C-alpha cells in the first residue's frame, strides 16, 4: 500500500531490488522525469519519516546491539558446540578451520535461508513474526531454504554477474564438503589396521601377544600418509573459501 502511494506521488515506479547500475539509471531517469516529485518522496518524506520514527529507531538500535553482541556474536567467528564446546581450549590452527567453516554453515542455513524468503513477497508471508522484519534474529535456520536459494543463484545468467552464479556453486561445494564429505572421511587408524592391532592386545586376556613381533612400521607410515593427505585437503578447502570471501554477504 505504501509503495503504491509513493509511486503515484513520485510519478515513476520504484523497484524492490536491482543491481547498482540499474539503481543509478533509475535515479537519473526519476529525477529527469519529475524533479520536484522525486525530491518530495526521496528527500522530504524520508526526513519527515526519520523524525517521526526517531524514538522507535533508538529502541531497535538497542535491540540490534544486544542481539549482535550476545546472540549472533557478529563481531567474531564462532565454532559450533559440536566442534568446540564453550569453555574448551583449542589451538589456533584448529580454530581457524572449524570456526571459519562453521560460520559458512551458518551463512548458508541462516542468512541464505532468510534471503530465500526475504526477496519473495509471497514466500515471506510464510515466516512467523520473529523470523523476519525488525524482530528477526539469527536464531532459526533451514538448510533446505539456504540450499534452495544458492541453487537459484547458480542459474543466474542474463542480467546478473557471472561471478554470483560461480560463487554460489563454490559455496555449495564447500558447504557439502564440510557437512557431508569431511565428517565421513575414513579413519586413518582403521584403514592402516592400527586399531585392529591395538584391539588384539586388549582382547588378549592371557597375554600371549606380549612377545608379538609384528612390524608396525607400515601401519604407522599409512597413518602419517593419510593424516598428511587430510591436512592438505583441509588447507586447500580453506584457501578456496578465503578466495570467495567477497561473495559471503546477503
The answer to whether residue 24 sits within a structural domain is no
One domain, residues 174 and 192: no
Do residue 179 and residue 191 come from a single domain?
A: no
The model's confidence at residue 210, banded by pLDDT at 50, 70 and 90, is low
User: Which pLDDT score, from 0 to 100, does residue 146 have?
Assistant: 96
Q: Are residues 96 and 175 in the same domain?
A: yes
pLDDT at 39 over 60: yes
199 with 106, same domain?
no
Both 106 and 175 in one domain: the answer is: yes
Domain co-membership, 168 together with 200: no
| Domains contained in the chain, number | 2
Sequence-distant (≥ 6) Cβ neighbours of residue 50 within 8 angstroms: 57
Return the pLDDT at 23.
85
Upper half-sphere CA count for residue 135 (Cβ side, 13 Å): 5
| Domain-embedded: residue 154 | yes
Residue 154 has pLDDT above 90, yes or no: yes
| Among candidate residues 183, 199, 223, the one where a domain is terminated | 183
Cβ atoms 103, 83 nearer than 8 A:
no
pLDDT at 53 over 80: yes
217 or 17, greater pLDDT: 217
- What percent of the residues of the chain are helix, what percent strand, and what percent coil, each to the nearest 5? 70, 0, 30
- Whether the predicted pLDDT of 78 surpasses 70: yes
Cα 188 from Cα 225, distance rounded (Å): 9
Residue 88 lies in a domain: yes
Dihedral over Cα of 209, 214, 217, 220: its sign: negative
Same domain, 227 and 204: yes
100 and 179, same domain (yes or no): yes
Q: Is 141 exposed, middle or buried (0-12, 13-18, 19+ CB in 10 A)?
A: middle
159: left (phi over 0), alpha (psi -120 to 50) or beta: left
Residue 236 in this model has a pLDDT that exceeds 90: yes
Kindly state whether residues 137 and 221 are assigned to the same domain.
Answer: no
**Structural domain contains residue 65:** no
Q: Do 168 and 204 share a structural domain?
A: no
Counting every residue written for the chain, the total comes to 250
Structural domain span for residue 221: 185-250
Which of 238, 90, 88 minimizes the C-alpha distance to 177?
Answer: 238
Cβ atoms of 141 and 109 closer than 8 Å: yes
Which of 188, 169, 185, 193 has the alpha carbon at shortest distance from 234? 185
Using CA atoms, how far apart are residues 23 and 26, in angstroms rounded to an integer?
Answer: 5
Instruction: Enter the pTM of the model.
Output: 0.79
Q: According to the 3-state scheme, what is the secondary structure of 87-141?
A: CCCCCHHHHHHHHHHHHHHHHHHHHHHHHHHHCCHHHHCCCCCCCCHHHCCCCCC
For residue 225, being part of any structural domain is answered with yes
| pLDDT mean over 138-153 | 91
In a domain, 32, yes or no: no
For residue 183, give the DSSP letter. G
Q: Does the residue 15 lie in any domain?
A: no
Residue 179 has pLDDT above 90, yes or no: yes
Mean pLDDT of the chain: 88
Both 135 and 197 in one domain: the answer is no
Are 112 and 146 in contact, with CB atoms under 8 Å apart?
yes
pLDDT per residue as tens digits for the range 89-114? 999 999 999 999 999 999 999 999 99
Q: Report residue 127 CA to chain centroid gap.
A: 19
Q: Are residues 111 and 133 in the same domain?
A: yes
d(C-alpha 116, C-alpha 5), whole Å: 27
Q: Give the Cα separation of 217 and 41 in Å (integer).
A: 78
Closest CA to 208 of 197, 219, 200: 200
Amino acid at each position: 500500500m505504501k509503495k503504491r502511494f509513493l509511486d503515484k506521488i513520485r510519478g515513476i515506479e520504484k523497484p524492490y531490488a536491482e543491481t547498482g547500475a540499474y539503481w543509478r539509471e533509475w535515479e537519473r531517469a526519476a529525477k529527469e522525469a519529475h524533479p520536484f516529485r522525486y525530491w518530495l518522496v526521496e528527500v522530504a518524506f524520508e526526513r519527515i519519516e526519520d523524525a517521526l520514527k526517531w524514538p522507535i529507531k533508538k529502541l531497535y538500535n538497542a535491540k540490534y546491539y544486544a542481539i549482535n553482541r550476545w546472540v549472533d556474536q557478529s563481531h567474531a567467528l564462532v565454532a559450533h558446540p559440536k566442534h568446540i564446546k564453550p569453555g574448551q581450549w583449542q589451538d589456533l590452527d584448529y580454530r581457524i578451520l572449524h570456526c571459519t567453516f562453521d560460520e559458512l554453515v551458518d551463512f548458508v542455513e541462516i542468512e541464505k535461508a532468510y534471503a530465500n524468503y526475504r526477496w519473495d513477497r509471497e514466500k515471506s508471508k510464510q515466516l512467523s513474526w520473529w523470523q523476519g522484519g525488525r524482530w528477526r534474529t539469527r536464531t532459526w535456520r533451514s538448510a533446505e531454504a539456504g540450499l534452495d536459494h544458492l541453487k537459484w543463484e547458480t542459474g543466474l545468467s542474463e542480467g546478473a554477474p557471472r561471478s554470483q552464479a560461480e560463487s554460489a556453486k563454490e559455496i555449495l561445494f564447500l558447504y557439502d564438503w564440510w557437512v557431508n564429505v569431511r565428517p565421513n572421511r575414513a579413519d586413518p587408524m582403521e584403514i592402516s589396521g592400527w586399531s585392529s592391532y591395538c584391539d588384539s592386545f586388549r582382547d588378549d586376556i592371557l597375554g600371549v601377544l606380549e612377545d608379538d613381533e609384528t612390524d608396525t612400521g607400515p601401519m604407522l607410515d599409512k597413518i602419517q600418509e593419510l593424516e598428511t593427505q587430510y591436512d592438505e585437503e583441509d588447507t586447500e578447502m580453506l584457501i578456496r573459501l578465503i578466495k570467495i570471501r567477497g561473495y559471503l554477504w546477503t
